[in-house]
């Protein structure tokens, strides 16, 4: 019997791993019509060139402080772990990484796939659907597939959103709960703020129907409900819950409440202990390692919080690999 | 302890149940910016008025022949059955129907929901995500929710695509297999064509990244694979598989192959027996009861097929209700 390989593509954002990669990464990001919505391509490219050139030095300064982005390494580790795990069930399983803004790019990876009659699964590393992450990643893969097979529709299963997968929600809840339990035990006095911080998007994207904000909101409430069900009411009284949006750039209004403003307000009005959870990030990146661990931490402690704590990204966690396997299996792998 | 009601919204297209409803239904359909992509609203409304007025008589003629659309009745039956089924697990569960183009409309239903601290699930009756069905339905519900709660994001779980749900795929496969088995048994000679026919969309929507065609393609191949795994190779040799797209309107190119053209071609080149499966329709409607059972049937038999057969929509099938429950439960209900 012929070999049929099940091929799985893990899509992620990508990130610069050294100084030379910062400007090209920023350029591709800002030249993406699903990120900067300028439909006229030459104008968008012109704007992207200017912004990436202007922002590269400061961006590089921040990346240098965190030793550049671990995201590419983490995605590759997850892909390798997932491949090892899935090959226990079916030895003919290949897992590939495709990034949107740094190599490996779709147009380089898709030509190397086997397409030998097995199945193809495309899943992104973003738990919540957003046009600026999920859609742009999957479309780039789609484009490369159509370049390779211009005259046929390829059989595939594309997974656009999985925050609601029950294994992942358990994992996500467990990660927050573990940190919260430590905090309850070590800091016996004062209020505790559990702040879910998601990457923001321009408000008009949400108004036009992008599902991202409703998905992060759903995720926030599910985890909150699950944790509250495990806490005794007296413990629960100390704990306050907030969902905020971070990392806005440019002059337009983004989805609110903003993480930085909320930290400032709560540092004054509530104080106590701040536990921040990067709900939309499965790998640590500049938004967690710099924005959270440097900027927000300083802001929180200088503003009046007694202590600052953070839940880490899933990164190379084996239990997250198991979630990815479960997500794929729920889709028929 | 206070009562918290889990509320579930089943979204569907809606359809006219009598002559007076045909024109308003067509008007709302063509005035939807996700169906007719004219961004300037007054122009779109003008066009929608003209098209709906022009098409209403012929459309009414077809609807009259099928006794008008059963879709509203079927959606309500599914909602009632689902509510009965889910209340066995949690008595505080309400299931509501919201249609996009006929009553009950989102703006009338959402104000009546309890929002008493329970959870909200929004699921459409379309197995495959499409901007012209799924997105427009969910956005209309979203708009009504934001009208009711203008200053907060509501906690909800919105299910955009579920063709890959394993219970549903088993159900879908079983429905095709049952008809195919009958056909294999009763028609022992000649080739059998299993034709999956999905509602088409303008080709440029697919080119721009609408996932609908890749989702129907994935569904087609999954069912085909599952059935082939159950047939002996000799039986399988008689069977040919096609995925086509139907119901195009207007002058632009739609997703191909077109169902009508493919029937004409295969009637001549292949002949034998035609089994058609309305893969994108969970309730029978004008596209199945008229387009398939009248137009395509005539065309197939006059063109050279010996016999014509069709898999019915899920309609009021209790086993489909169980699939809907499973889809919701997989999303945490």
Q: What count of Cα atoms within 13 Å lies in the side-chain half-sphere of residue B315? A: 10
Whether A142 contacts chain B with CB within 8 A: yes
- Looking at the complex, report in whole angstroms how far the Cα of residue A171 sits from the nearest Cα belonging to chain B: 14
Question: Which residue in the set B161, B217, B331 is minimally distant from A155, CB to CB?
Answer: B217
Which tens digit of pLDDT belongs to each residue from A121-132?
999 999 999 999
- Looking at the complex, report in whole angstroms how far the Cα of residue A146 sits from the nearest Cα belonging to chain B: 10
Identify the residue whose tokens are 């509203």: B72
- Looking at the complex, report in whole angstroms how far the Cα of residue A35 sits from the nearest Cα belonging to chain B: 15
Question: Which residue in the set B153, B243, B330 is minimally distant from A217, CB to CB?
Answer: B153
User: Chain-wide mean pLDDT for chain A?
Assistant: 96
Asked if the Cβ–Cβ distance from B332 to A129 is below 8 Å, we say no
Question: Which residue in the set A129, A164, A213 is minimally distant from B331, CB to CB?
Answer: A164
Asked if the Cβ–Cβ distance from B138 to A211 is below 8 Å, we say yes
Chain B residues inside the 8 Å CB shell of A161: 160
User: Given CA atoms A182, A187, A191, A197 in this order, what sign does their dihedral have?
Assistant: negative
Query: Can you give the pLDDT at residue B1?
Result: 61
Whether B166 contacts chain A with CB within 8 A: yes
Q: Is A249 helix (H, G, I), strand (E, B) or coil?
A: coil
Q: Is B32 helix (H, G, I), strand (E, B) or coil?
A: coil
Does the domain spanning B166-310 belong to CATH 1.10.510.10? no
Q: Is residue A7 exposed (0-12), middle (13-18) or buried (19+ Cβ within 10 Å)?
A: buried
Q: Find residues 3-32 of chain B whose CB sits inside 8 Å of chain A.
A: none
> Residue A1 above 70 pLDDT?
no
Q: Find residues 168-197 of chain A whose CB sits inside 8 Å of chain B.
A: 169
Best residue of B32, B130, B332, B333 to probe chain A, by most A CBs closer than 10 Å: B332
Query: Can you give the pLDDT at residue A39?
Result: 86
Q: Is residue B91 exposed (0-12), middle (13-18) or buried (19+ Cβ within 10 Å)?
A: exposed
Whether B117 contacts chain A with CB within 8 A: no
Asked if the Cβ–Cβ distance from A217 to B138 is below 8 Å, we say no
Best residue of B127, B331, B333 to probe chain A, by most A CBs closer than 10 Å: B331
Q: Are B104 and B17 in contact (CB under 8 A)?
A: no
Which tens digit of pLDDT belongs to each residue from B67-93?
999 999 999 999 999 999 999 999 999
Give A258's strand partners: A245
Domain at B6-162+318-330, CATH from 2.60.120.20, 3.40.50.1400, 1.10.540.10, 3.90.1560.10: 3.40.50.1400
Which tens digit of pLDDT belongs to each residue from A4-63?
999 999 999 999 999 999 999 999 999 999 888 898 999 999 999 999 999 999 999 999
User: Angle between the B318-330 and B71-89 helix axes, to the nearest 10 degrees?
Assistant: 60
Q: Find residues 218-237 of chain A whose CB sits inside 8 Å of chain B.
A: 218, 220-222
- Report the chain B residue with the minimal C-alpha distance to residue A207: B143
User: Rounded to an integer, what distance in angstroms lies between the CA atom of residue B215 and that of residue A225?
Assistant: 33
Query: Can you give the pLDDT at residue A36?
Result: 87
Asked if the Cβ–Cβ distance from B160 to A157 is below 8 Å, we say no
- Report the chain B residue with the minimal C-alpha distance to residue A131: B209
- CA–CA distances in Å: residue A86 to residues A8, A83, A326, B330: 10, 5, 10, 21
User: Rounded to an integer, what distance in angstroms lies between the CA atom of residue A274 and that of residue A33?
Assistant: 36
Q: Is B115 left (phi over 0), alpha (psi -120 to 50) or beta?
A: left
Q: What's the residue count for chain B? A: 333
Question: Which residues in chain B land under pLDDT 70?
Answer: 1
Asked if the Cβ–Cβ distance from B142 to A221 is below 8 Å, we say no
Asked if the Cβ–Cβ distance from A218 to B142 is below 8 Å, we say no
Asked if the Cβ–Cβ distance from B156 to A330 is below 8 Å, we say no
Q: Are B266 and B274 in contact (CB under 8 A)?
A: yes
Query: Can you give the pLDDT at residue A183?
Result: 97
Q: Is A216 helix (H, G, I), strand (E, B) or coil?
A: helix
User: Rounded to an integer, what distance in angstroms lies between the CA atom of residue A173 and that of residue A198?
Assistant: 16
Question: Which residue in the set B158, B209, B220 is minimally distant from A214, CB to CB?
Answer: B158
Whether A214 contacts chain B with CB within 8 A: yes
Tokens of B143: 């708009």
Domains A6-162+318-330 and A169-310 share a fold: yes
Q: Is residue A58 exposed (0-12), middle (13-18) or buried (19+ Cβ within 10 Å)?
A: exposed
Contacts for A9 with CB less than 8 Å, ≥ 6 apart: A95, A96, A97, A98, A109, A120, A121, A122, A123, A141
Best residue of B6, B41, B115, B209 to probe chain A, by most A CBs closer than 10 Å: B209
Q: Spell out a b/e string for B263-290, using b for 16 or more CB atoms within 10 Å of the CB, else e.
A: bbebbeebbbbbbbbbbbbbbbbbbbbb
User: Rounded to an integer, what distance in angstroms lies between the CA atom of residue A120 and that of residue B96?
Assistant: 36
Chain B residues inside the 8 Å CB shell of A171: none
Contacts for B231 with CB less than 8 Å, ≥ 6 apart: B239
Concatenated DSSP letters of B229-266: HHS-HHHHHTEEEEEEEE---SSS-BSSSBHHHHHHHH
Query: Can you give the pLDDT at residue A244?
Result: 98
Question: Which residue in the set B158, B169, B209 is minimally distant from A139, CB to CB?
Answer: B209
Query: Can you give the pLDDT at residue B2?
Result: 76
Whether A33 contacts chain B with CB within 8 A: no
Which tens digit of pLDDT belongs to each residue from A210-236?
999 999 999 999 999 999 999 999 999
- Looking at the complex, report in whole angstroms how far the Cα of residue B243 sits from the nearest Cα belonging to chain A: 10
Chain A residues inside the 8 Å CB shell of B218: 155-158
Domain residue ranges of chain A, discontinuous segments joined by +: 6-162+318-330, 169-310
ipTM associated with this complex: 0.95
CB pairs under 8 A between A and B: 72
User: Rounded to an integer, what distance in angstroms lies between the CA atom of residue A94 and that of residue A121?
Assistant: 10
Q: What is the CATH number of domain A169-310?
A: 3.40.50.1400
Asked if the Cβ–Cβ distance from A209 to B160 is below 8 Å, we say no
Pinpoint the alpha helices (H) of chain B.
Answer: 22-30, 41-65, 71-89, 106-109, 136-148, 166-186, 203-207, 212-230, 233-237, 259-269, 286, 297-303, 318-330
Which tens digit of pLDDT belongs to each residue from A270-318?
999 999 999 999 999 999 999 999 999 999 999 999 999 999 999 999 9
Query: What are the E-state strand segments in chain A?
Result: 6-12, 93-99, 120-124, 157-159, 192-199, 239-246, 272-277, 305-310
Asked if the Cβ–Cβ distance from A158 to B332 is below 8 Å, we say no
- Looking at the complex, report in whole angstroms how far the Cα of residue B216 sits from the nearest Cα belonging to chain A: 9
């Amino acid at each position: 019997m012929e070999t049929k390989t099940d091929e799985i593509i893990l899509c992620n954002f990508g990130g610069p791993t050294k100084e030379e990669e910062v400007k090209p990464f920023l350029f591709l990001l800002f030249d993406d019509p699903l990120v900067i919505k300028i439909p006229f391509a030459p104008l968008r490219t012109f704007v992207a060139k200017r912004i990436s050139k202007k922002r590269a030095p400061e961006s590089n300064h921040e990346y240098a402080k965190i030793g550049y982005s671990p995201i590419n390494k983490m995605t590759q580790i997850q892909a390798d772990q997932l491949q090892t795990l899935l090959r226990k069930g079916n030895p003919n399983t290949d897992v590939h990484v495709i990034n949107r803004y740094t190599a490996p790019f779709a147009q380089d990876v898709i030509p190397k796939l086997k397409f030998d009659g097995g199945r193809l699964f495309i899943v992104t590393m973003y738990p919540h659907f957003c046009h600026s992450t999920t859609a742009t990643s999957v479309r780039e893969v789609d484009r490369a597939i159509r370049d390779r097979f211009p005259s046929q529709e390829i059989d595939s299963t594309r997974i656009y959103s999985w925050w609601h997968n029950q294994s992942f929600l358990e994992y996500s809840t467990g990660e927050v709960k573990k940190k919260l339990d430590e905090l309850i035990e070590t800091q016996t006095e004062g209020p505790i703020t559990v702040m879910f911080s998601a990457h923001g998007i321009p408000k008009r994207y949400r108004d036009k129907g992008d599902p991202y904000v409703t998905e992060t909101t759903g995720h926030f409430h599910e985890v909150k409900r699950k944790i509250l069900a495990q806490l005794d009411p007296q413990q629960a009284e100390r704990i306050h819950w907030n969902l905020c949006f971070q990392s806005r750039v440019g002059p337009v209004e983004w989805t609110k409440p903003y993480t930085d403003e909320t930290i400032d307000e709560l540092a004054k009005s509530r104080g106590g202990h701040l536990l921040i959870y990067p709900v939309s990030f499965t790998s640590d990146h500049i938004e967690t390692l710099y924005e959270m661990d440097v900027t927000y931490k300083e802001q929180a402690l200088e503003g009046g919080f007694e202590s600052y704590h953070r839940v880490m990204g899933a990164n190379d966690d084996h239990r997250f690999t198991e979630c990815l396997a479960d997500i794929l299996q729920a889709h028929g792998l």
